[in-house]
Amino acid sequence: MKTRYLKIATIIGFSLFSGFASAQKTSKYKKKTGPELKFGITAGAVYSFQSGYEYSENVKGVVGVSAGAFANYAFSDKLKLQLAALYNQYGTDFTSGSLTYKEKQTYISFPLTLKTYFTDSFYFNIGPQVNVLVSSTFDNDDINDMMQKTDFGLTGGLGFNFTENIGIDLNYYYGLSKIYTKESEIEGDIIYNAATARLFYEF
């Protein structure tokens, strides 16, 4: 009798172990199915410039740093909602003859994007983004009073997961609100455009 119970226990134990081991075997590119909250960090570069000027040939973009953290909620292995908090260095160079004037803005950006996976590793994302101004200078002179404290626009792009936790985002931001105040007396609907490339790591 004891031998029979031992055989049954062994069979049950082996079956449970096999099922657990099978459940643990996932491709390094495959996302887990079902709701799941994950966090991560991201860092890379941003190329930004201001548009809306009458003489656009005198306006040039600059490269800055883009880095921060994010949280995403996976509704399934094909659909995620992601909220990020990013430190973004935006800026523009203005040329007049042989002179170049440098304008720089630092923002804390909050993009909320919907990520749709076409394959296990390739996805498209799009959503709104709010930029909160931290500092603004023109040739190292403070011009915070000339700038709107918040900027709003749309962001979207493509991404790729090299592994389940590591990937790259390629996004473009298009501003929908003026970045200068009326008191600045700068004419035109001046907005920011920015292209970013960031590596990310999900915990």
| CA–CA dist 15, 11 (Å, integer) | 6
What's the total number of domains in the chain? 1
Instruction: Work out whether strand 79-96 and strand 59-74 pair parallel, antiparallel, or are unpaired.
Output: antiparallel
| CA–CA dist 20, 11 (Å, integer) | 14
Indicate whether 14 belongs to any domain. no
Indicate whether 177 belongs to any domain. yes
Token pair recorded at residue 121: 């590793």
Indicate whether 42 belongs to any domain. yes
Domain encompassing residue 103: 34-202
pLDDT in 10s for each residue of the chain, 203 residues? 445 444 444 444 444 344 434 434 444 444 455 568 999 999 999 999 999 988 778 899 999 999 999 999 999 989 999 999 999 999 999 998 889 999 999 999 999 999 999 999 999 999 999 999 999 999 999 999 999 999 999 999 999 999 999 999 999 999 999 999 998 989 889 999 999 999 999 99
Angle ∠(90,122,161) on CA atoms, nearest 5: 75
Token pair recorded at residue 171: 């996004």
Indicate whether 86 belongs to any domain. yes
DSSP code string of the chain: -HHHHHHHHHHHHHHHHHHHHHHH---TTPPPSS-EEEEEEEEEEEEEEEE--S-GGGEEEEEEEEEEEEEEEESSSSEEEEEEEEEEEEEEEEEETTEEEEEEEEEEEEEEEEEEESSSSEEEEEEEEEEEEEEEEETTEE-GGGB-SEEEEEEEEEEEESSSSEEEEEEEEEE-S-SB-GGGT--S--EEEEEEEEEEEE-
Q: What is the pLDDT of residue 9?
A: 44
The letter for the amino acid at 91 is: G
Indicate whether 17 belongs to any domain. no
Indicate whether 192 belongs to any domain. yes
| CA–CA dist 127, 152 (Å, integer) | 11
Token pair recorded at residue 81: 């909602």
- To the question of pTM greater than 0.85 for the whole model, the response is no
Q: What is the pLDDT of residue 34?
A: 52
Could you tell me the CATH number of the domain that includes residue 184? 2.40.160.20
Q: What is the pLDDT of residue 22?
A: 41
Indicate whether 76 belongs to any domain. yes
Q: What is the pLDDT of residue 17?
A: 41
Indicate whether 89 belongs to any domain. yes
